[in-house]
Amino acid sequence: MRMIEGRADEELLAAGDAQAFGLLYARRLPLVRAYLRRQVGPREDVVLDLVAETFARALERRGQFDAERGAAVSWLLGIAHNLLVDAARRGRVADESRRRLGMDPIELIDEELVRVDERDGFGETAAELRRYVSELPPEQREAVERRVLEEHSYAAMAEQIGCSQQVARKRVSRGLAALRERIEEKT
């Protein structure tokens, strides 16, 4: 058993309280995200959906964990792997555990923006960023402009451009991913 901050992952799962699970989440989030990112590639929206469902499922089923069958981290990665396989088969990431637990959908945009803002050596000028946005496909450009620049909600965006909220999220996500790719090419 791996000991961090005095308590093993297995102990945190067995504790059954929110604080213990929160510590496990904080401790293992980078590993689970890195594993899924390696499997999925640059599709950060899919990675975050898989990460959220992995931890929601672990929270929901923490009573099923058996330390005699392996380490808690292996159990978490097994959940992530099974969700990944299921998502590939179904063509979408499961969200049943998140819905049962009453968890809100992930809003990818704010985190992506923070990562772009916090980038070390981010030398892009405002003019370059405007040019990159103008080079996006029209649907992505409109979605990024409405969500990021005009700060519209997804519900408002969907109504304004005549699509579902999920489609609006995907357009913004893909637009931001394309912008990030373009910026990374320059650095």
d(CA 49, CA 95): 8
Q: Are residues 22 and 62 in the same domain?
A: yes
Last residue in a domain, options 83, 100, 117? 100
Q: Are residues 87 and 115 in the same domain?
A: no
Q: Are residues 26 and 73 in the same domain?
A: yes
Q: Are residues 21 and 68 in the same domain?
A: yes
Q: Are residues 117 and 158 in the same domain?
A: yes
Q: Are residues 117 and 168 in the same domain?
A: yes
pLDDT at 34: 84
Using 50, 70 and 90 to split pLDDT, how confident is the model at 137? Answer: very high
How is 109-131 classified by DSSP, letter by letter? HHHHHHHHHH-TT----HHHHHH
Q: Are residues 83 and 153 in the same domain?
A: no
More confident residue, 130 or 116: 130
Q: pTM score, two decimals?
A: 0.53
The number of folded domains in the chain is: 2
Last residue in a domain, options 100, 120, 150? 100
Residues 6+ apart with CB under 8 A from 44: 37, 108, 112, 173, 177
Mean pLDDT estimate for the chain = 78
Q: Is the pLDDT of residue 19 over 80?
A: yes
Q: Is the pLDDT of residue 106 over 60?
A: no
> Which tokens is 82 given?
């099974």
Q: Are residues 83 and 171 in the same domain?
A: no
Q: Are residues 7 and 96 in the same domain?
A: yes
Q: What is the CATH number of the domain that holds 133?
A: 1.10.10.10
- pLDDT tens per residue across span 41-70: 777 778 888 998 899 899 888 888 888 888
Q: Is the pLDDT of residue 3 over 60?
A: no
- pLDDT tens per residue across span 65-89: 888 888 888 899 899 999 888 888 8
Last residue in a domain, options 54, 82, 100? 100
Range of the domain at 56: 3-100
Q: Cβ(143)–Cβ(108) under 8 Å? A: no
Q: What is the CATH number of the domain that holds 80?
A: 1.10.1740.10
Q: Are residues 80 and 23 in the same domain?
A: yes
